Amino acid sequence: MIEIKGLHKEFGKLEVLHNVNLSFQQGECIALIGPNGCGKTTLIKSILGMVIPGRGTILVKGQDIRKGVEYRRHIGYMPQIGRYPDNMSIGQVIDMIKEIRHSKETLDEELLEAFQLKKIFDKRMRTLSGGTTQKVSATLAFLFDPDVLILDEPTAGLDPLASEILKEKIISEKQKGKLILITSHLLSELDDLITHLIFMQDGKVHFHQSIEDLRKLTGEEKISKAIAQILKKSNNE
Amino acid sequence: MNRIIKFIVLDILRNKIVLIYTLLLAVLSWAVFSLEDNSTKGLLTLLNVILLTVPLVSIIFSTIYLYNSSEFIELLLSQPIQRSRIWWSLFFGLSISLIFSFIIGAGIPILLYAPGDVGLMMLMVGISITAVFVSLAFLGSVLTRDKAKGIGMAILLWLFFALMFDGLVLFLLFQLADYPIEKMMVGITALNPIDLGRILILLHLDVSAMMGYTGAIFKDFFGTFLGIIIAFIVLFLWIALPFWVSLRKFKRKDL
């Protein structure tokens, strides 16, 4: 569904992505992990067209992302820190996006209900806490029932209840056969969600494996331990 | 495109600064016209006031608005919307709102007290100058990521066009007084949209008789229909070129 070939990106002299080659299929739930500043967010933003790559191509559903913006119809994006116009209320932001998308598809308002956002529809974005802003971001990402979901640190800032709601939503979307791409620092949270794992370091893809392979390879049940073991191994080499 | 422009215009019109700007223009215009006994004198005073305030408010307000819209731009970018469409919408949204303020604030009194060629010309000049400085604000804010630097650049641009440019021209005039530079001066005015606007209006008032030989050359050029057309084409270039450069930059920008 998403193909990334030979992706390079430099910010000035700093090389943030170095020859990234990845391929994601339908029904996968991929965790993108790595230390801070390893290029996770840049990779995601490249897929969304917010960052223009230096070299390389990205295909979403076979469509080159440089050749138009229609591919973004298939993507729901939840940013790490959602930033919205200060003076708009929650309801206005959601209405505006709906109107701009001009979408005729049925909307998925499950999260809107689950997070009980309708009660605070009149609140201005400026007055919201970080967690509530994240709830709005999550709602917008899932609203148009997209085939690809890109979630940048989705549970950061959410309270345990909300984060549980979101996780259940992610699992149910995965079962519908959607492609889900998550970045996260909290590995323990991802255990029951993900099918594949990508580890990035210094702008390079360290490894990209399915969870089963990873477990077989390392003999560990827990993902965090499996990763630790692999990293130790590569450090010794 | 219309839907995004609609959101931007509604957002700006709710802004108190734009409201104050409209009121300020209205108070100034009504006051000037009621204080002066003839409308030519009124127009002349108002011209100077407008040529100082309109560029200042247009460029500073647009610059700040663009920096504050970075969230809005990011939000739109994750939707299936082209970058150029976002940028165009912002440009139209800002220009339309500020031009609307100008017409409400200054346009109505001008047309009431000085109907006819000069009043109309003044309105056209005000509208063009607004768009020129909105366009310059787009160029400035796409060139630098830092808000403080961007606003600083906007203030400097305004200072240059509103005050320093005239000083430089005057300096040139005195230094080169022995040479026949009158025709060249016509070309030099094209380098400053504010001066272009000022001369267009001055030459339609009777005071142009007092401007000496250079004034006569100006009248020869700007007084003709062709001269007016060329002047407005140059003003249009002042709108189009900075915006075009900013659009190219914005399309390649990492957000």
Q: Determine the angle formed by the axes of helices B83-102 and B225-251, rounding to 10 degrees.
A: 140
Q: Is the pLDDT assigned to residue B1 strictly greater than 60? A: no
Cβ distance of A71 and B255 shorter than 8 Å: no
pLDDT on residue B123? 93
Give the total number of structural domains in chain B. Answer: 1
Q: Please state, in angstroms and rounded to a whole number, the distance separating the CA atoms of residues B20 and B29.
A: 14
Strand-pairing partners, residue A208, are A198
A interface mutation test: which of B4, B13, B79, B253 has the most A CBs within 10 A?
Answer: B79
Task: Please give the Cα distance from A124 to A202 (Å, whole number).
Answer: 39
More confident residue, B138 or A164: B138
pTM: 0.88
Whole-number pLDDT of residue B208: 61
d(CA B171, CA B165): 10
Q: Which domain holds residue A7?
A: 2-236
Inter-chain CB proximity B78 and A83 less than 8 Å: no
CB-nearest to A48 from B7, B71, B78 is: B78
Whether A61 and chain B come into contact, CB under 8 Å, resolves to no
- Quick one: which of A193, A232, A237, A230 has its CA closest to A208? A230
pLDDT at B206: 67
Query: B202 falls in which pLDDT band (50, 70, 90)?
Result: confident
Give the chain A residue nearest B4 (alpha carbons).
Answer: A100
Q: What angle in degrees, to the nearest 10, is found between the helix axes of B2-13 and A90-101? A: 160
Chain B residue numbers touching A71 (CB-CB < 8 A): 80
Contact (CB, 8 A) for B145 and B249:
no
Contact between B80 and A48 using a beta-carbon 8 Å cutoff: no
Q: Please name the residues between 137 and 196 in chain A that touch chain B, using a CB distance below 8 Å.
A: none
Q: Which 11-50 residues of chain B touch chain A by CB within 8 A? A: 11, 14
**Is the separation of the CB atoms in A42 and A51 below 8 Å?**
yes
CA distance B142 to chain A (A): 15
Mean pLDDT of B66-76: 87
**In terms of DSSP bridges, do strands A63-64 and A204-210 run parallel, antiparallel, or are they unpaired?**
unpaired
CB contact under 8 A, B71 and A49: no
pLDDT per position as a tens digit, B25-61 = 999 999 998 888 888 888 888 998 999 999 999 999 9
How far is the C-alpha of A161 from the C-alpha of B235, rounded, in Å?
59
pLDDT in tens, B146-182: 999 999 999 999 999 998 998 898 888 888 888 887 7
pLDDT of residue A103: 67
Q: Which residues contact B224 (CB under 8 A, 6 or more apart)?
A: none
B96 and A CB contact within 8 Å: no
Total domains in chain A come to: 1
Q: Is A24 on the interface with B (CB under 8 A)?
A: no
Question: Residue A24 sits in a domain of what CATH number?
Answer: 3.40.50.300
Whether the per-residue pLDDT at B142 is higher than 70: the answer is: yes
Distance from CA of B49 to the nearest CA of A (A): 32
- Report whether B87 contacts B239 (CB < 8 A): no
Contact: B80, A97; criterion CB under 8 Å: no
pLDDT at B127: 96
Say which residue, A140 or B222, is predicted with more confidence: A140
Domain that residue B18 falls in: 2-251
Please give the DSSP secondary-structure letter assigned to residue A124: B
